[in-house]
């Protein structure tokens, strides 16, 4: 198999598991592992990173830390909810997402990772998808004008299945908007991640990699390669589609995030080299 689509310099680290670590320490640890590509959180539960209202001075400081450590900020991982029914609330969420785009531009990041909204895998009311189409088209136009890509994470709710993600994406006309493919998030919602990938392949522009194991009958996230997902068919499918984006490990547990991230990076790198 050709390895033209695999570039191990595109290995990166997601920010969520590092939410309790000060940014300079996080950046330096990644640099020590030889990983240059890092995310930064913009989330109310990530006080050591950026909150929703991070001002330009704070953003500039983060840029200085990245330069000092020798890492590249590739993505701002934001929190948003575009399923809100109140028009004024929805506009506030759109403005929040546009602020993430501004932050990405200031830091030289290529992506802003956004969510759809609700996380539960319940019935989705028909009026939710038009709101998602409106919001992501608006944010997508804002991002495109600034050279930024939007990556919508499959994170439950309107994105719990490949079919739902496809329905959402079919109504988004902005070329700046794609999908952050997270196989473990699909499985955690009871969706086969390989089947889901086949629905969303045309839009995948970013990816997160962790694993799932069952503990007392419930799915729990774990280090990549340490769970029950069969990875080779998934990675083969993605590579054969022509994907040339980032492969970003996401170890979510803060208490042992260094060990889990290192294990995930090693396992993912070893697997990718087979292709």
What DSSP letter does each residue of 212-227 carry, written as one string? EEEETTEEEEE-TTSS
- Give the torsion sign (CA, 149, 155, 158, 159): positive
Q: Do residues 257 and 38 make contact, with C-beta atoms less than 8 angstroms apart?
A: no
Residue 2 confidence (pLDDT): 37
Q: What is the percent of the chain with per-residue pLDDT over 90, rounded to a whole number?
A: 86
Instruction: For each of the domains in the chain, give its residue range(s) and CATH number, in order of start.
Output: 8-273 (3.20.20.150)
Q: How much is the pLDDT for 1?
A: 34
Q: What is the mean pLDDT of residues 157-179?
A: 97
pTM: 0.94
Quick count: other Cβ atoms within 10 Å of Cβ 135?
A: 24
Do 149 and 143 form a contact (C-beta atoms < 8 A)? yes
Asked if the model's pLDDT at residue 271 lies above 60, the reply is yes
- Average pLDDT on 82-107 reads 96
DSSP 8-state code for residue 5:
T
Mind listing the pLDDT tens digit for each residue in 4-17? 345 567 999 999 99
CA distance 49 to 18: 9
Q: Binning pLDDT at 50, 70 and 90, where does residue 126 land? A: confident
Which residue is it, tokens 């080779």? 232
Strands, E, within the chain: which ranges?
11-13, 37-42, 72-78, 111-114, 149-153, 177-181, 204-209, 211-215, 218-222, 247-249
The reported pLDDT for the residue numbered 119 is 67
Q: Say how many CA atoms lie within 13 Å of 151 toward its Cβ.
A: 24
Name the H helices within the chain: 23-32, 56-69, 87-107, 128-144, 162-170, 183-188, 193-200, 231-240, 257-273
Could you tell me which of 116, 164, 120, 154 has the C-alpha nearest to residue 136?
A: 116
**Cβ of 15: how many Cβ atoms within 10 Å?**
26
Long-range contacts, 215-222 (Cβ 8 Å, 24+): 219/187, 219/188, 221/184, 221/188, 221/252, 221/253, 222/260
Residue 95, pLDDT > 50, answer yes
Torsion (CA) 202, 208, 109, 25 in degrees, nearest 10 = 180
In this predicted structure, what is the pLDDT of residue 116?
96
What number of other Cβ atoms are within 10 A of residue 32's Cβ? 10
Runs of H (alpha helix) within 33-86: 56-69
Encoded tokens for 215: 């503990």
Q: How many residues does the chain have?
A: 275
Confidence check: pLDDT of 233 > 50: yes
The per-residue pLDDT for 4 is: 39
Comparing C-alpha atoms, which of 42, 46, 8 is closest to residue 252? 46
Residue 176, both tokens: 């700046």
- Three-state DSSP class for residue 56: helix
Q: How confident is the model at residue 120 (pLDDT cuts 50, 70, 90)?
A: low
């Amino acid at each position: 198999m050709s390895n033209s689509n695999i570039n191990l310099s595109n290995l990166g680290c997601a920010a969520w598991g590092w939410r309790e670590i000060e940014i300079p320490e996080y950046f330096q640890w990644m640099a020590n592992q030889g990983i240059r590509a890092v995310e930064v959180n913009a989330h109310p539960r990530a006080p050591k990173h950026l909150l929703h209202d991070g001002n330009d001075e704070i953003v500039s400081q983060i840029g200085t830390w990245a330069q000092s450590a020798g890492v590249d900020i590739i993505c701002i991982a934001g929190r948003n909810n575009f399923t809100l029914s109140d028009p004024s609330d929805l506009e506030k969420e759109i403005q929040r997402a546009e602020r993430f785009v501004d932050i990405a531009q200031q830091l030289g990041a290529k992506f802003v990772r956004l969510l759809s909204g609700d996380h539960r895998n319940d019935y989705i009311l028909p009026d939710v998808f038009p709101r998602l189409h409106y919001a992501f088209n608006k944010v997508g136009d804002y991002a495109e004008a600034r050279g930024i890509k939007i990556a919508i994470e499959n994170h439950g709710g309107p994105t719990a299945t490949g079919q739902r993600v496809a329905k959402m994406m079919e109504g988004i006309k902005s070329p700046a908007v794609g999908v952050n493919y997270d196989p473990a998030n699909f499985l955690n919602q009871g969706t086969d991640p390989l089947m889901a990938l086949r629905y969303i392949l045309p839009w995948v522009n970013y990816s997160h990699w962790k694993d799932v194991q069952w503990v007392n009958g419930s799915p729990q996230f774990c280090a990549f390669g340490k769970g029950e997902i069969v990875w080779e068919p998934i990675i083969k499918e993605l590579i054969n589609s022509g994907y040339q984006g980032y492969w970003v490990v996401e170890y979510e547990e803060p208490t042992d995030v260094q060990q889990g991230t290192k294990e995930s990076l090693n396992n993912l790198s070893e697997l990718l080299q087979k292709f």
